[in-house]
């Protein structure tokens, strides 16, 4: 025992020496990343959620990328000690002759690996597998990797992380206790032997508590009786307890009641905004759904969403869906939506989507919201010719030429992108609203033929010449603030600008003629002209951002029976 203690002390000193001898950060060129996977198959399947039950050991594989020449790795996991307990860690051979030290607290575990006399010879691979055990009171939890350190070449890099594995309680407890596929008399005998027990009495077993209330009583007996004689294969597993609550309410089912595939197939709509849902498993059987909403909800005057959905695969076969709202979730991959060709409305606002190629076949779409994602390429949208509304605000789009054939578009929002050339929009003559604030536009001649426009936003660009706007006689709102405009004569020449219309030209270097002649001429026709002298760039950016948020906050409209948000 004494020798083992001394060995651990030596290992601790050596590993600390390796990590602290040179406390410099690795350069960005030498950065690394870690990934988690609960799929036991070889390689990283990127599976980060798992349906499980109490008293099960969960293995989480830790994969490293850009780890070549590493001599040590340290990770910190945090977890709910009332739900799971740390079991063990097994290192792989990526770090040769690696020695391990573990520090465990009430709700965390730190694991440090240091290679004695070697270094990683591969750039990516399995670092090791950490195991946790679900406790008897397990009801669902998350295990988070919150920090990692890597030693390489005498330097260390530390990163804060927010990687998580979600563990879901299998809440559909089958009354087929003997596992023969039928709910029969032998199951009744087993159930009777547990009747009246409760958590903590030394007799209670979770599998007999069919409504998961901690007591095996009358309500469980009713559920069992309703299932007697049935084939259990018809029951649907819905591991996310909050999704189950929403479905039970829609079906008029009691809490914890078993739900069959036939019952799921009767669902036609499901409203689950701000319902703290993470796992959609079970919805694959709701094949009659036409409307599904996992979006924002107004609470106390604020729009909030506690849902955090990332895996859309259960939705892939719901081909009758016409309206799907997934705003403000945790979605990066939309490939599961590729076959939902009946969709007319799709809201993916505020996610983490960069690749939208899977949407290319959704040709029935009339409204598509991709506001606040990470999109650079919109070529996948080129064939969605039924689109009437498209929101691409706050992405990283430079080229909009792929939108040139979307001639049914009436509402197009492209605020805060990287657009310089708007000529690709010249044929979109059905446009009623076009928002292009906060881009890098200098030439607006491509907009001269958009004579149906009623609202045109061009704030915070680099526009000097607005002569192309003189023929846009349907305009009622024109935002040109914070550009490089001197001459407002083209706006005076726009005979459509009149009583009640609004023009914003603040923050431009307007000429004396524009201030003293053109603006009064517009005002004499009843146009509300807002103007001021140019401001410093910092103030301009602040005002533009504030104005953009004000113009978007709370804006929604109804069309086709749906409420749309910008």
pLDDT of residue 22: 32
Burial pattern 70-95, b for ≥16 Cβ within 10 A else e, equals: bbbbbbbbbbbeebbebeebebbebb
pLDDT of residue 565: 46
Same domain membership, residue 212 and residue 105: no
- Residue 125 belongs to a domain: yes
Same domain membership, residue 96 and residue 133: yes
Same domain membership, residue 189 and residue 123: no
pLDDT of residue 51: 67
- Residue 194 belongs to a domain: yes
Low-confidence ranges of the chain (pLDDT < 50): 1-30, 535-538, 540-541, 549-555, 557-566
**What percentage of the chain reaches a pLDDT higher than 70?**
86
Same domain membership, residue 215 and residue 143: no
What phi, psi does 215 have (nearest 5°)?
Answer: -135, 135
- Residue 90 belongs to a domain: yes
- Residue 549 belongs to a domain: no
Same domain membership, residue 115 and residue 37: yes
pLDDT of residue 479: 98
pLDDT of residue 40: 66
Same domain membership, residue 230 and residue 89: no
- Residue 49 belongs to a domain: yes
Give yes or no for a contact between 364 and 385, defined as CB atoms under 8 angstroms apart: no
Annotate 266-277 with DSSP letters as a single string: T--EEE-TTS--
pLDDT of residue 220: 87
Annotate 550-565 with DSSP letters as a single string: HHHTT-EEEETTEEEE
CATH of the domain at 15: 2.60.40.680
Please give the residue range of the domain that contains residue 220.
Answer: 185-234
pLDDT of residue 560: 36
Domain count, the chain: 2
CATH of the domain at 206: 1.10.1330.10
Same domain membership, residue 228 and residue 113: no
Annotate 6-75 with DSSP letters as a single string: HHHHHHHHHHHHHHHSS-PPPPGGG--EEEEE---SSS-----EEEE-SS-EEEEEEEEES-TTEEEEEE
pLDDT of residue 173: 66
Quote the longest CA-to-CA distance of the chain: 96
191 by Cβ neighbours in 10 Å (0-12 / 13-18 / 19+) ranks as buried
């Amino acid at each position: 025992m004494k020798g083992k203690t001394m060995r651990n002390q030596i290992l601790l000193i050596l590993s600390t020496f390796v990590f602290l001898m040179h406390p410099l950060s690795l350069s960005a060129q030498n950065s690394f990343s870690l990934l988690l996977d609960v799929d036991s198959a070889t390689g990283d399947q990127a599976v980060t959620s798992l349906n499980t039950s109490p008293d099960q050991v969960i293995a989480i594989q830790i994969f490293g990328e850009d780890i070549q020449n590493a001599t040590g790795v340290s990770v910190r996991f945090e977890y709910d000690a009332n739900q799971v307990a740390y079991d063990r860690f097994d290192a792989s051979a990526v770090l040769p002759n690696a020695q391990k030290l573990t520090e465990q607290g009430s709700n965390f575990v730190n694991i440090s690996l240091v290679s004695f006399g070697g270094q990683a010879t591969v750039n990516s691979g399995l670092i090791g597998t950490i195991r946790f055990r679900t406790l008897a009171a397990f009801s669902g939890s998350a295990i988070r990797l919150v920090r990692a350190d890597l030693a390489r070449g005498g330097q260390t890099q530390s990163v804060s992380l927010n990687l998580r594995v979600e563990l879901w309680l299998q809440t559909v407890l089958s009354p087929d206790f003997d596992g023969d596929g039928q709910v029969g008399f032998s199951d009744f005998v087993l159930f009777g032997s547990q009747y009246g027990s409760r958590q903590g009495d030394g007799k209670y077993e979770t599998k007999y508590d069919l409504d998961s209330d901690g007591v095996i009583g009358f309500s469980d007996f009713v559920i069992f009786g309703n299932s007697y004689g049935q084939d259990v294969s018809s029951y649907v597993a819905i591991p996310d307890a909050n999704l189950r609550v929403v479905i039970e309410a829609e079906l008029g089912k009691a809490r914890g009641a078993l739900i069959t595939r036939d019952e799921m197939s009767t669902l036609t709509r499901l409203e689950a905004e701000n319902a703290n849902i993470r796992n959609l498993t079970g919805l694959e059987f709701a094949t009659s759904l036409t409307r599904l909403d996992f979006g924002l909800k107004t609470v106390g005057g604020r729009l909030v969403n506690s849902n955090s959905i990332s895996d859309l695969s259960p939705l892939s076969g719901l081909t009758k869906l016409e309206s799907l709202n997934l705003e403000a979730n945790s979605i990066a991959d939309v490939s599961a939506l590729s076959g939902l060709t009946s969709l007319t409305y799709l809201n993916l606002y505020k996610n983490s989507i960069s690749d939208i190629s899977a949407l290319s076949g959704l040709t029935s779409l009339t409204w598509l919201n991709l506001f606040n994602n990470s999109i650079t390429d919109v070529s996948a949208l080129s064939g969605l010719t039924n689109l009437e509304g498209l929101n691409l605000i706050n992405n990283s789009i430079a080229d909009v030429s792929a939108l040139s054939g979307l001639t049914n578009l009436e509402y197009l929002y492209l605020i805060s992108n990287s657009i310089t050339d708007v000529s690709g929009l010249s044929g979109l003559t059905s446009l009623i609203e076009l928002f292009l604030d906060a881009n890098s536009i200098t030439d607006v001649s491509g907009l001269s033929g958009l004579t149906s426009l009623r609202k045109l936003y061009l704030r915070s660009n680099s526009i000097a010449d607005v002569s192309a706007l003189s023929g846009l006689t349907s305009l009622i709102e024109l935002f040109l603030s914070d550009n490089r405009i001197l001459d407002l004569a083209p706006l005076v020449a726009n005979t459509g600008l009149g009583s009640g219309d609004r023009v914003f030209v603040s923050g431009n270097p307007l000429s004396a003629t524009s201030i003293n002649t053109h603006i009064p001429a517009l005002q004499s026709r009843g146009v509300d002209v807002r103007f001021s002298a140019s401001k410093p760039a910092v103030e301009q950016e602040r005002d533009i951002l504030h104005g953009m948020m004000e113009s978007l906050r709370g804006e929604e409209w109804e069309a086709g029976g749906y409420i749309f948000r910008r």
